[in-house]
Chains A and B, each alone.
Chain A
Amino acid sequence: MKKYQVKIAPDECKGCQRCVIACTRNVLAMGKELNIMGFPAATVQSSDCIGCGICFYTCPEPGAITIYREVADDAQK
């Protein structure tokens, strides 16, 4: 069961590739489709994210990358 998830907001990304290069788990890749700004956005290609945050900090865009952590669901306890 995966504990962390990375999400890319395609229209916030400028396609600089910094996150793709930085991720040691090879989670991210460059997509082909152009976003509203005309850049090819990064995409998530695997579910191996460990939530290290490196992609987030290396990305120059405020809201392109968001990293989530799974939390215990009270209802299921």
Chain B
Amino acid sequence: MKYEVVHGRSKGFFDSFNRRPGAIKTNMHYCPGCGHGILHKLIAEAIEDLQIKERTVFISPVGCSVFGYYYFDCFGISVPHGRAPAVGTGLIRSDENNIVISYQGDGDLGAIGLNEFLQTANRGENMAVFFVNNAIYGMTGGQMAPTTLPGQKTITSPLGRSVQSEGYPLKVAEMVAALDAPVYVERVALSSGRNIMKARAALRKALQNTIDKKGFSFVEFLTGCPVNLKKSASEINTFIDEQMSKYFVPGVYKDIAENRDPIRRPQPVFAPETVKQVLYGSYTQSAAVRDFSKLQPFFNKERRIKIAGSGGQGVLSLGYILANMGNLRNFNVSYLPMYGPEMRGGTANCSVVISKQEISSPMVDSNCNLLIVLNQQSFDKFLPELKTNGFVIYDSSNVTPHDLLPTQGAYHVNASELARDLGDLRYANLAILGAVSLLMDDYFLEEPDKSDFEAVVAEAIRSCFSGKEKLITPNINAFYLGKHKAQPN
């Protein structure tokens, strides 16, 4: 007589649970009669039958099922408490062919992870969430969960859950079914044989939706934690069917997958250059020349610039232009405008860092190499941040310098007056950039880079004022006028 196996150990499980520490390698760590075990078997069987082992990622939550990845013969990730849907989102967004199973307890999903879960459901991420509602925090030893029933005693509700003080149990299936995005929501009970078979069908339907890329599917499993509820096998089934099911009514809450088209999302981009292009398209510009020709040792260190003045003097756009200039000649740059109470006090400032190396901090509040100030207040305030060998460039229409160290250099130009003569105070920033150019010529550049510096000023102005063509020439003129009038002290 020959026999064949009709029901036996699933190939969706590893043959041997080698990740599990200890001698026992063929069964799981759960307590006798635990609902997690029943559900794991259904999942393993579905993974095998649906032939999705090669692209399934089982996300193990924090809770008793934290070691889910010991068991399933597919990919597995263990995640921080409540974060399974967020990690699942990353998995599905990075490869739409992943079959993501977010397996979560009622503490994990209903308490610490409720926001992540709802946002993920609301975005309609293509995944199957299997929600294990056992009305308790199992792993930590039986504390009250969001789903603990009214009157149910736990170690943290020894008198029974009071709806007056702890509120009503959280009806997650009802809640998620109310959202527009989810395509399938069902609540089932892992109690009697019949109910387990219903659960089996629901689980497979959710996975099929995921395979078909229909979006967010959710199955809530009412399960037993016999140990923390201190119940025998028959008592736990009765508890699920007669108490839990009264409050958490099993049934299909939503099933609209048939009417939904498969999800299609834009192809994600990962290549760093492409990401830059997409995020900062307007900033990654192709320059006329890649680098200065004769890079002086001066540029071996990062150069930290602070620009300050009154609101309206173009302080922030000067910083932006300087950062752009650096970018156009292959430097790493950062630009950090400072807003806040200071602006109301009449001053604005920004930090610009230009470096051939990685920039340590975009914030210039000490060790400043170059201080550019357009009013007295800013001079007084920021001079202490200037390095002992740093340079200050100031608008001599507004600023009377004082307390400069003999080791500190200074340039000045009557930028505001020049700007007024040019017809708009806002040219002051470009006029003072002229002084920066002179300083660079005098100390830090050799030809042909002196001319190239002027060229890159024009390039940066063109790029910063693109779309406002009328402003380009006057600004370039203001720069040359400023450079012509600028002087060292």
The chain A residues found within 8 Å of chain B, CB to CB, are: 4-5, 12, 14-18, 20-22, 36-37, 39, 51-54, 56-73
- Given contacts A22-B193, A53-B7, A71-B3, A60 and B232 within 8 Å (CB-CB): no
Give the interface segment out of B32-40, B130-138, B298-306, B398-406: B32-40
Contacts of A70 in B (CB 8 A): 1-3
Most buried by A among B7, B9, B36: B7
8 Å CB contact of B33 from A16, A69, A73: A16
Do the beta carbons of A60 and B33 come within 8 Å of each other?
A: yes
At the interface, yes or no: B357 with Cβ under 8 Å from chain A?
no
Whole-angstrom distance from the CB of A65 to the nearest CB of chain B? 7
With A57-B42, A58-B38, A61-B28 in contact, do A16 and B7 touch (Cβ < 8 Å)?
no
Which residues of chain A have C-beta atoms less than 8 A from B5's C-beta?
66-68
Tell me whether B27 and A14 are in contact (CB under 8 A): yes
Q: Besides A14-B32, A57-B193, A70-B3, 11 other CB < 8 A contacts?
A: A22-B193, A53-B6, A58-B193, A59-B41, A61-B27, A62-B9, A62-B13, A62-B27, A63-B8, A67-B7, A68-B6
Given A17-B232, A21-B237, A39-B32, do A66 and B7 touch, yes or no (CB 8 Å)? yes
28 chain-A/chain-B pairs, Cβ below 8 angstroms: A5-B3, A12-B26, A12-B27, A14-B27, A14-B32, A16-B32, A16-B33, A16-B226, A17-B234, A37-B24, A51-B6, A52-B193, A53-B6, A54-B193, A57-B193, A57-B196, A57-B197, A57-B200, A59-B41, A60-B28, A60-B33, A60-B41, A61-B37, A62-B40, A65-B8, A67-B7, A67-B8, A68-B4
Task: Name the CB-closest residue of A to B23.
Answer: A36
User: Is the C-beta of B168 less than 8 angstroms from some C-beta in chain A?
Assistant: no
Q: Which residues of B have CB within 8 Å of A17?
A: 33, 232-234
Cα of A54 to Cα of B234 in the assembled complex, Å: 15
Q: Which residues of A contact B200 (CB under 8 A)?
A: 57
Report the minimum CB–CB distance from B48 to chain A (whole Å): 12
In the complex, how many angstroms separate the beta carbon of A39 from the nearest chain B beta carbon?
7
Name B8's closest neighbour in chain A (CB-CB): A66
Beta-carbon contact of B33 and A18 below 8 Å: yes
Q: What are the 4 A-B residue pairs with the smallest beta carbon separation, nearest first?
A: A60-B37, A16-B33, A54-B193, A14-B32
